């Protein structure tokens, strides 16, 4: 697990940039955190780091899934407005098994569709301008790519 304390948005952007370099085709990123903790903001910086257009990243009001053309295609899924029982009505497995990167807000609702291998990013509201972040890896593939990355992230942990 890698933790970042009291990150302002500039630092969140740097974290997202570094984190983006760990992702590959088929990666799944589950974003945990309350409303306003910065899940969509993190996604915006992640998409920018993957050479996508950050201005396309918003909290979709009517769509549950947004697709962005980046270096690797990004599927941004926001489960906030749907019930856990409705997840099965989405082609969720197709997204999860696709060659794109899946970034999922409110992943608690995935239930049985939670994959075996994923990165977990936990965001916590600290004050108006600052958040605490934690990055975990679940499953062998993600754990391998996060392993020994302490130094890689250290330079932004300290600034
Ligand atoms: N350090 C920070 N990290 C992330 N968001 C921040 C930070 N400081 C301020 N914000 C603001 O907080 C809000 C977070 O909203 P959003 O990303 O939509 O949250 P969520 O998707 O978790 O509901 C945005 O308006 C963003 O600009
Ligand atoms: Mg959001």
- Measured in Å, residue 64 CA sits from the centre of ligand 1 at 19
**Is residue 21 a contact partner of residue 14, using CB atoms and an 8 Å limit?**
no
**Is residue 35 a contact partner of residue 158, using CB atoms and an 8 Å limit?**
no
The CA distances from residue 58 to 37, 42, 84, 91, 156, in Å, are 14, 11, 22, 21, 26
User: Phi first, then psi: what are they for 30, rounded to 5°?
Assistant: -100, 125
> Any idea of the CA torsion for 119, 84, 102, 44, to the nearest 10 degrees?
-90
Whole-number Å distance between alpha carbons of 30 and 141: 15
Domains in the chain (CATH in brackets) are 2-157 (3.40.50.300)
Whole-structure pTM over 0.85, yes or no?
A: yes
Give per-residue pLDDT as tens, 14-49: 999 999 999 999 999 999 999 999 999 999 999 999
Q: Which atom of ligand 1 is nearest to the CA of 123?
A: 22
Residue 14: enclosing H or E segment and its boundaries?
Answer: helix 9-20
Q: Are strands 118-127 and 65-68 parallel, antiparallel or unpaired?
A: unpaired
Contacts of 44 (CB under 8 A, 6+ apart): 54, 57
> Within 13 Å and on the Cβ side, how many CA atoms surround 126?
13
Whole-number Å distance between alpha carbons of 89 and 143: 30
What residues does ligand 1 touch, defined as CB less than 6 Å away? 7-9, 12, 33, 35-41, 59, 105, 129-131
Which of 6, 15, 38 for mutating ligand 1's site (highest number of atoms within 8 Å of CB)?
38
User: Phi first, then psi: what are they for 50, rounded to 5°?
Assistant: -95, 20
Tens digits of pLDDT across the chain (159 residues) = 899 999 999 999 999 999 999 999 999 999 999 999 999 999 999 999 999 999 999 866 667 999 999 999 999 999 999 999 999 999 999 999 999 999 999 999 999 999 999 999 999 999 999 999 999 999 999 999 888 887 888 888 766
């Amino acid at each position: 697990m890698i933790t970042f304390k009291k990150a302002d948005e500039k630092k969140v952007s740097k974290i997202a940039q570094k984190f983006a370099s760990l992702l590959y085709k088929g990666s799944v990123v589950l974003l945990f955190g309350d409303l306003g903790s910065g899940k969509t903001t993190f996604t915006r910086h992640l998409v920018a780091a993957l050479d996508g257009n950050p201005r396309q990243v918003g909290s979709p009001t009517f769509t549950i899934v947004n697709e962005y053309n980046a270096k690797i295609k990004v599927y941004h899924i926001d489960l906030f407005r749907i019930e856990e029982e409705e997840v099965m009505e989405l082609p969720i497995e197709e997204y999860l098994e696709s060659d794109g990167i899946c970034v999922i807000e409110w992943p608690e609702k995935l239930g049985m569709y939670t994959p075996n291998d994923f990165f977990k990013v936990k965001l916590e509201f600290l004050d108006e301008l600052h958040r605490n972040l934690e990055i975990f890896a679940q499953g062998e593939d993600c754990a391998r790519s996060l392993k020994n990355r302490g130094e890689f992230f250290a330079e932004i942990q300290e600034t």
